Amino acid sequence: MARIVLLNKPFGVLSQFRSDGHHPGLAELVDIPGVYPAGRLDHDSEGLLLLTDDGRWQQRIADPRHKLPKTYWVQVENIPDDSALARLRHGVVLKDGPTRPAEARRMAAPDLWPRDPPIRFRRHIPTSWLEIRLREGRNRQVRRMTAAVGHPTLRLVRYAVGDWTLDGLAPGQWRCLEVPPLARGGRKRRAGGSRPGQRGRRHGPRRS
């Protein structure tokens, strides 16, 4: 069986095990040997980061060619109108070319942990939340897309990768799942049965 670790990466933590001298790495949160990140989140983004000990699963999760959707909850400046949402849905032209169409909708403010440090508050500028689902992974793509339609990102939380979500995980907490290994070509190998996911050690404060 392969292992996949679901980690709720806190703000300010790198998506690598080593610190860069300015930001802590994953080694301070995850103590499972032999796993490595499948994809990344910027240090100023939060939420679901997957790690695995299986190279084929790593490629399946991280490579945009597999079109595994990634869902983000994004707090932006002001309230995007239907025109701004339509631009996100049809694709936004960035410096490195047009993006693929995305799923984008307004959403109520999610029930999240407080960010440390908090976002910059401006009394006369309202904020709102979007749910954006992508099937590609450019550098700082969500932030660049919202800025391109006139709504800079203030806070970015990745909620889901495929069917995996951060439900039940406070910042810094993780759980470990056992999944069938992938055969060549990315398909799961058949097995006589699979064990339920193993709950990993919890790190960080629990949500009340």
Number of residues in the chain: 208
**Beta-bridge partners for 5:** 51, 176
Q: How far apart are CA 132 and CA 141, in angstroms?
A: 11
Residue 14 dihedral angles phi and psi, to the nearest 5°:
-75, 155
Distance of alpha carbon 119 from alpha carbon 77, whole angstroms: 11
CA distance 17 to 8: 15
- The rounded distance, in Å, linking the Cα atoms of 176 and 171 is 15
Q: Write the burial class of residue 31 (CB in 10 Å: 0-12 exposed, 13-18 middle, 19+ buried).
A: exposed
- Say which residues have a Cβ less than 8 Å from residue 180's Cβ, sequence separation at least 6: 1, 2, 188, 189, 190, 191, 194
**For strand 164-165 and strand 153-161, is the pairing parallel, antiparallel, or unpaired?**
antiparallel
Residues designated catalytic: 42
